[in-house]
Structure 1
Amino acid sequence: MKNIAILASGEGTNAERLIRYFEEKEEINVSVVIASRATAGVVKRAGRLHVPCRVVTSAGFASGEALLVLREYRADFVVLAGFLLRIPDDILHAYPQRIVNIHPSLLPKFGGKGMYGIHVHEAVLDAGEKESGITIQYINERYDEGDYIFQAKCPVLPDDTPETLAERVHQLEYQYYPEVIESLVR
C-alpha cells in the first residue's frame, strides 16, 4: 500500500476528487490532508470523507512540523491541490521526484509567484490566448519550474470570463489529475 499526503490551502475540490478516486483503489491510500489554514474549506471536506486532516501554518512548514506530519502518516508521495505555500527544502529533499503539483495553465506561460487561481485565468484572457489548460509537474525550489509530467488543453472562447474559463480548466483537473497521480505512484 502506498500512502499519499494531499496539501491544500483552499476549498479543496481537487483534494476531494482525489480522495474519492483513491477510495476505490486497493494499492493507494490518501493517508492525510495537510491544510495551511484552519479556515480552509478542505478541512471540512477531509472530515466529511473521514481522512485525517492536520493544519500546519507557514511557520509550521518553516519549522519542520510538516515533514514530521508526513512521516507520522507514512506518506510515500505528496500531492499539492491548490496549495499556496512554498514547499521548504527539508520536504523537497525527503521526497525527490515524489511531490506533484497541478497548475491551471499551460506552463511555462502564466506561472510563477502570485499566479494561482483566478489570477491565472485573468492573465490568460488579458493576453488574448486561444487555448489554456493544465500542467501537472514535479516541483522544485522555484515556483512552477519543475519538470512537466502532463499537459492537457482546452479552448479559450471569445465570450469567456475568468470564471467560465476556470470551470473548463477545473474539468481537466478533475479528469486527469487522479489518473496521472495513480500512474506515478504505481
Structure 2
Amino acid sequence: MKNIVLFASGNGTNAEEIIRYFKNNSQGTVVAIFTNKSDAKVLDRAKNHEIPAVVFNRIQLNEGFVLQELRNFKPDLIVLAGFLLKFPESILKEFPNVINIHPALLPKYGGKGMYGMNVHQAVLDNKEQETGITIHYVNENYDEGEFIFQKSVNIEDCQSAKEIASKIHILEHRYFPEVIADILNSKN
C-alpha cells in the first residue's frame, strides 16, 4: 500500500474526497494532512477521519521543519489539494512525486495569485466558453509542471464566478482521486 500525504490550505473538500476514495482501497492510504492554516477546515476533516495533521507556517515550510515531518510519513505521493503556498525546491528534491490540481485549463489562468475564485472570475471576465481542471506535477514554478490530466466543462450558461466554481468542484471531486489512483498504479 502506498502512502499519500495531502497538503491543503482551506476547506478541504478535495482532501475529503481523496480520503474517502482511498478509505477502502488497497492502492494507497492517506497517512497525513499538512496545512499552513491553523484554522483550516481541512483539520476538522482530518480529525473526523482520524488522520494525523501537521500545522506549519511559511518559515517552517521553507526551513526544514516540513521536510523533516514528511520523512516521518514516508510518502510515495504528495498531493496538493488546495494548497496555496509555493512548494519548496528542497522538498521536491527529496520527494519528486508531488502533484497539484488547478481549477482551469492550464496554461491559461495559471501562475502566482491564480487560485480559487481569482481564476473563476478571470475566466468569467474573459467570456470563456469552457474551462476545466488540470492535474500536473509540481516543479519550482507555479503551475508549470508536466500535465497529467485535463478535463473541460462548458460554462456558457454560467453568469457568475460562483457558478463556474460549482462546475469545477464537480470535476475535481470526480477525477482527482481517480488520477491519483492511476499514478499510484503506474509507480508499482
Q: How would you bin the TM-score normalised by the shorter chain?
A: over 0.9
Q: Give the structure 2 partner of residue 92 of structure 1.
A: 92
Aligned pair 1:110/2:90, yes or no? no
CA deviations on 1:26-65 (whole Å, 9 max, x unpaired) are 2311000001111111011110111111101111101111
Which secondary structure state, in structure 2, belongs to the residue aligned with residue 136 of structure 1?
A: strand
> Equivalent residue for 1:141?
140
Rounded to whole Å, the distance in 2 between the matches of 1:27 and 1:78 is 15
RMSD of aligned alpha carbons: 0.8
Cα distance in structure 2, aligned partners of 1:33 and 1:15: 8
Larger CA deviation: 158-167 vs 16-25: 158-167
Tell me how far apart the structure 2 counterparts of residues 153 and 10 of structure 1 sit (CA, whole Å).
24
Amino acid of the structure 1 residue aligned with 2:142:
Y
Q: Which amino acid aligns with 2:183?
A: L
Aligned to 1:19: 19
Alpha-carbon distance in structure 2 between the residues aligned to 1:27 and 1:133: 27
Question: How far does residue 94 in structure 1 lie from its aligned partner after superposition?
Answer: 1.0
Per-residue deviation, 1:172: 0.3
Q: Deviations over 1:107-158 (max 9, x none)?
A: 0000000000000000001011000000000010000000000000001124
Residues 53-108 of structure 1 show CA distances to partners (whole Å, capped at 9, x for unaligned) of: 11011111011111111111111110000000111111111122x10000000000
1:120 maps to what in 2?
119
**Residue matched to 1:131:** 130
Tell me, in whole angstroms, the C-alpha distance in 2 between the residues paired with 1:27 and 1:174: 18
In the other structure, the counterpart of 2:170 is: 171
Equivalent residue, structure 1, for 2:42: 42
TM-score of the pair, normalised by structure 2? 0.96
Q: Which residue of 1 aligns with 2:80?
A: 80
2:60 is matched with which residue? 60
Q: Does the aligned pair in 1 maintain the 2:9–2:40 contact within 8 Å?
A: yes
Structure-2 residue corresponding to 1:157: 156
Q: Which runs of 5+ in 1 are unaligned?
A: none
The secondary structure found in structure 2 opposite 1:111 is coil
Aligned to 1:185: 184
- Answering whether residue 41 of structure 2 is matched by residue 31 of structure 1, we say no
Structure 1's 114 and 77: CA in aligned 2 closer, same or farther, altered over 3 A? Answer: same
CA separation in 2, counterparts of 1:153 and 1:139? Answer: 21
Runs (4+) of structure 1 exceeding 4 A deviation are: none
Aligned equivalents of 1:175 and 1:159: distance in 2?
20
**Equivalent pairs: percent with the same residue?**
46
Q: 2-side partners of 1:60 and 1:16: how far apart?
A: 25
**SS where residue 78 of structure 2 aligns?**
strand
